[in-house]
Structure 1
Amino acid sequence: MTATVASRLIFADPGEAAGLAAFLGRLVRWEKNAAVRIQAGGGVAAVFAKPARFEVLAVRIGRLLEPLELDITVSAGELLERVEEERESVGVPAAVTGPSWAGLLPPRGGWREFARVPVDAVGSVAAAAVGEFRERVEKLPTGQRGREALDGLAEEIWSRPLGDTGLPLRAAHAAHALGFLRGKEPAGLLESGAWLRLRTPYGSVLVRRHGAAAGGLSVTPV
């Protein structure tokens, strides 16, 4: 990955820096050493992450006041420390060796919206699934609450589709946990090749269809 040197991203829209800080804060709370990949071009910046505990990719996209070209993987914690909400900007820290997921991202184009769903309905489904997981764990005998059993239960629940959309519940769970399911605007459900996407004004969660081949990957921002 080649990065064009840039010291700071300056956002065009009020509240974008605060939204980025909230996003990064959640990532670091779940994984202290989390990394994010930043890509900027065409007047926007995309910050990609793979949140710990969720087998999904997440991305926040913001318009830039001063367009630039950038492609770099950095520490989420260091990026968070450089957010300046009052200036609607964030300083770009030094590059780090990125995790494997950062090298292969969903396609930039070719996205087709096939449904729109109320964000409160998606959040309710995610919350109900969390409740089911906790209830079923509590019913397990103490000696049967090992990591393998809990992982199997989580996989069973979070692999279920969201209604008839084909989107696994893990995407709704991640969007809920990341604070993406807010406001009145419905969430869009999109597809491109092997990828499915849940998109709201606050960010997107992306997953690969089960059993999909490795094709259709990109190193450009969604």
Structure 2
Amino acid sequence: MTVLAPLHFADAREAAALAAFLTRLVHYDRAAAVRLQAGGGALAVFGRPPSFEVLAIRTARLVDAVDLDVTVSAGELLDGIEESAGKAVVPDSVTGPPWTGVLPPRGGWEPVPGLPGVPELRGAVAAAVAEFRARDEELPEERRTRAERDALGREIWSRTLGATGLPLRAVHAAQSLGFLPPGEAPTALFASGPWLRLRTPYGSIALRTVPPISLGVAPR
């Protein structure tokens, strides 16, 4: 077993923000795993909240230029964060789920025009939630099944925002994970190959517009 040195954040608030992100991930999946990649004084934490079919990415600045690439339990990493001390103990690695082997590219991102502002993004999510509830209530009793509701959710959350190609589920994930702050914020959309990335000051949501040919073997 390899014992990794603790991660020391450049600011204690970075530790608190990462803890908040992990708390939300664990809320959706108590057995969630995250992949950590560190280099050049920066840490990227990748997670995949169930049902949204997207990757959530939270970054943090580190004191030291640590080189790290490991998949760990989100809950154990959360337990190892000392917010007041601004550090985190990295738990033992785990065999990651398939998605941990298919991450967004590090470069080649080009801006995608047409992304609405944060108030409009929040409004689109609220309208979709209201539509889902209204149509769900209209279903006759014999059709009010999990399969029917899942199909309804896929129809609504797969809709894209104008000509951007960004599905509503990505915006919903950003809001649910605390990446969309109240009021205006500098958000942007980027594309690289088959990937789209919604970036906000609080984190990013990435997704493939086409499925991978092969997931391969997930790293440890």
What's the TM-score once normalised by structure 1's chain length? 0.90
Alpha-carbon distance in 2 for matches of 1:87, 1:16: 11
1:148-200 superposed Cα distances (whole Å, 9 cap, x missing partner)? 11111011001100122110111001001001001532211000000001000
Q: CA deviation at 1:67?
A: 1.4
- Residue 71 (structure 2) aligns with: 73
- Residue 204 (structure 1) aligns with: 204
Alpha-carbon distance in 2 for matches of 1:90, 1:107: 26
Number of residues of Structure 1 aligned to a counterpart in Structure 2: 214
Q: Does the alignment pair 1:6 with 2:31?
A: no
- Residue 17 (structure 2) aligns with: 19
Alignment of 1:27-106 (within 5 A): 27-106=25-104
- Residue 191 (structure 1) aligns with: 191
1:102-124 superposed Cα distances (whole Å, 9 cap, x missing partner)? 01111010111223542222122
Alpha-carbon distance in 2 for matches of 1:97, 1:156: 33
1:35-66 superposed Cα distances (whole Å, 9 cap, x missing partner)? 00001012110000110121101110111111
Q: CA deviation at 1:68?
A: 0.3
Alignment RMSD = 2.0
Alpha-carbon distance in 1 for matches of 2:31, 2:83: 23
State the identity %: 55
Alignment of 1:56-205 (within 5 A): 56-115=54-113, 116-182=115-181, 184-205=184-205
Q: CA deviation at 1:18?
A: 1.2
1:88-137 superposed Cα distances (whole Å, 9 cap, x missing partner)? 22110111111000011110101112235422221221121112111111
Unaligned stretches of 5+ residues in structure 1:
none
Indicate the larger mover: 123-132 or 40-49: 123-132
Unaligned stretches of 5+ residues in structure 2:
none
